[in-house]
Copies of this chain bind each other. A is one copy, B any other.
Amino acid sequence: MTSEAASRAGAVLEIDLGAIVANWRTLAGMTAPAQCAAVVKADAYGLGARPVAQALADAGCPLFFVATLDEGIALRRQLGTQPEIAILNGPHPGTAGEFAAHQLVPVLNEPGQVAEWTALGKSLRDNAPAAILQVDTGMARLGLTAREFAAVIEAPPPIVWRAVMSHLACSDNPGHELNKHQLACFTAAAARFPEVAASLSASCGIFLGRQYHFDLVRPGAALFGVNPCPGRAHPLRPVVRLQAKILQVRQIDTHQPVGYGAAHVMAAAGRIATVAVGYADGWLRSFSRRGCGFIAGMRVPLIGRVSMDLASFGVSAVPEAVAYPGAPIELLGPAYGVDDAAADAGTIGYEILTALGSRYHRVYRESALSPPK
């Protein structure tokens, strides 16, 4: 069944659950005694929330973060009542009751959400679940302003706080002055909640140093193979491998145009291999003329524009014995990781992951999974 499904698909995406679990354990070890959660929003960054969260829960991850209520409900149904599940976006108006019904911890990001959760607590006779309070310390996206935070301190609402959190805007750039400013602001805010767990850092923030760890860290991208230390050696294990299948190899004459818009013109005669992966599979159109793949370890450039369902690579320098219909071109793997691909596509590894398409045949490897010693 698996091999038939693989033979039908245009590409095979391997996801190493063992590497994800190993990465989580590495980060948990780095940050202990802080608690180490796992962020599995956006379908676990495109890798499949169901198998990914199950593997992490089985490994002992006590707390998961997702972005939306629907993601939280799905995860609760899958994982049962045991792990905590927090919802970063908090409640849209009128949805607080559903958070309580599914034992979901909302992150309360603005006064209206605080008011809604307060009202829910009253309607449940103070049996509402705990909530996380987000304060903004420099991101200006979600979270209470300094003035709104002061109002909460002055007149505390009857909410049980699971944690107080904030989010770093520039943690991928250790030298950015905003990091220390946010650290100082958050340290001051957390001091107003001395009995409540404090959480500032996601993947990159963990690598800014121990003072950024507080009581709870929230890695996401780093679990899934994105380098949390851009420009430095990757401290964690790669997770994904994407192999596209060659549909056709063409001999092309000199000066012949290739692809949409005749955007590429062959400088010399050569061979082109077309694979069954395109931007509808999340192989972003911005890879056009800039991306590459690997055949048997040899780099082959992406030629012309990425089509909806197809992309072409120049394979003139590669032996015909390895570039033929049915043979694989590796689009992500050890030689070309998600951060390398992101640089070619003009984006970040996070988007390479979340864009990964639904037509790929997905294989979850668990061989490297082993219980902690």
Which residues of A pack against B, CB within 8 Å? 4-5, 7-10, 41-43, 45-46, 67-71, 73, 88-90, 92-95, 98, 109-110, 112-113, 136, 138-142, 145, 169-170, 172-173, 176, 178, 245, 247-252, 256-262, 272, 274, 276, 278-280, 282, 284-286, 307-310, 312, 325-326, 346-348, 350-351, 354-355, 358-359
Contact = CB atoms under 8 A, between A and B. Distances in A.
Contacts of A247: 89-90, 92, 109-110, 142
A1 to B, nearest CB: 13
Contacts of A136: 250
Given A169-B259, A286-B346, A355-B355, A309 B42 contact: yes
Contact of A95 (B7, B113, B354): B7
B308 A41 contact: yes
Contacts of A252: 140
A256 B185 CA distance: 14
Contacts of A250: 110, 136, 140, 145
Contacts of A140: 250, 252, 256-259, 272, 312
Q: Which of A113, A142, A248, A284 has the most CB of B within 10 A?
A: A248
Given A256-B140, A309-B89, A251 B145 contact: yes
Contact of A142 (B9, B178, B274, B346): B274
A309 B69 CA distance: 12
A140 B314 CA distance: 12
Contacts of A142: 247-248, 274, 310
A70 B8 CA distance: 7
A278 to B, nearest CB: 8
A169 B325 contact: no
Contacts of A88: 309
A325 B354 CA distance: 26
B347 A262 contact: no
B141 A262 contact: no
B9 A169 contact: no
9 shortest interchain CB distances as A-B pairs = A42-B280, A67-B309, A280-B354, A93-B326, A110-B248, A140-B258, A8-B69, A285-B351, A112-B325
Q: Which of A4, A45, A139, A280 has the most CB of B within 10 A?
A: A280
B286 A169 contact: no
Contacts of A169: 257, 259-262
A260 B204 CA distance: 12
Contact of A257 (B110, B113, B178): B178
Given A247-B89, A248-B109, A355-B355, A68 B276 contact: yes
Q: Which of A10, A45, A247, A257 has the most CB of B within 10 A?
A: A247
19 contacts: A8-B70, A41-B308, A42-B280, A45-B280, A45-B308, A89-B247, A89-B310, A92-B325, A93-B325, A110-B249, A110-B250, A140-B257, A140-B258, A140-B259, A140-B312, A142-B247, A169-B261, A308-B354, A355-B355
Nearest to A220: B308
A276 B66 CA distance: 13
Given A89-B276, A176-B262, A276-B92, A141 B257 contact: no
A178 B145 CA distance: 58
A309 B41 contact: yes
Given A7-B94, A250-B140, A274-B142, A173 B261 contact: yes
A257 B41 CA distance: 25
